[in-house]
Amino acid sequence: MTRSRHFSHAFIFDLDGVLTDTARQHLAAWGALARMLQLPFDAAMEEQLRGLSRMDSLEHVLGPAAGRFSAERKQALAEHKNAAYVDAIAGLTPADLLPGALAALQAVRAGGWGLALASASRNAPTVLARLGVAPLFDHVVDPASVAHGKPAPDIFLAAAQALNVAPAHCVGIEDAAAGIQAIRGAGMFAVGIGSPQVLRGADLVLPDLLGLQPGLYLR
């Protein structure tokens, strides 16, 4: 759904790890799958998985063992992981918004700028609804509609196009290195949420959304 208006600028948010800490539940579900398959799963892999699509994440978790699994088995493993994730997010409420998230979204709306979601997650509409913030968004990109997942810029470009705002007038906000690469590839101003060591390449890195000042990043 796109609420159509004319926007001079737009803010395009990632979901998991930015607005809510569901990155934690994604990683726990992947860790459980790796243990079930007796495959290694370490802290470095956790960082690399952030923002990747479900099937790209699965390839990463399987690593060199990926060739041993048929396409059907991979599909079943991805569904197994998703079932664990869906269970884990069943009880999400607005209290699960990360600090500063609601105020950041409200500040964008108060500024009259466009607001879109560019999450790789097919569960994003459910998560947004449970967090109580779905009505604030002008557009939510369907990740199934874009050809290439993050780190490709496609999902951010699709958001800008839906809002009819030039990429140079958009600000993207991400917690994943792959997401920052996607935003930069789209030609947008990139705000990283997390650690500057991990989010190299971002125009600005903040520890959380509490310090977000949307009006400062427009060009």
Interface pick for ligand B16 out of 10, 92, 113, 121 (rule CB under 6 A)? 121
Q: Would residue 16 show up in a list of annotated catalytic residues for this protein?
A: yes
Q: Which ranges of the chain does DSSP label H, i.e. alpha helix?
A: 22-36, 43-49, 54-62, 71-88, 101-110, 124-131, 154-163, 177-185
**Sequence-separated (6 or more) residues with CB below 8 Å from residue 195:** 205
Residue 165: how many other CB atoms lie within 10 Å: 22
Q: Which does 52 bind (CB under 5 to 8 A by kind): ligand B16, Mg ion, none?
A: ligand B16
Active site residue 14: yes
Residues of this chain, 16-75, that bind ligand B16 according to CB under 6 A: 16-17, 23, 26, 49-54, 57
Helix axes 22-36, 54-62, angle to 10 degrees: 40
Provide the β-strand partners of residue 193: 206
Residue 175 makes contact with Mg ion by CB under 5 A: yes
Which 165-194 positions form the footprint of ligand B16 (CB under 6 A)?
176
Nearest to ligand B16 of 110, 121 (CB atom): 121
Q: Is 16 in the site for Mg ion (CB under 5 A)?
A: yes
Tell me the catalytic residues: 14, 16
Query: Which residues in this chain contact ligand B16 in the complex, by CB under 6 A?
Result: 14-17, 23, 26, 49-54, 57, 82, 119-123, 176
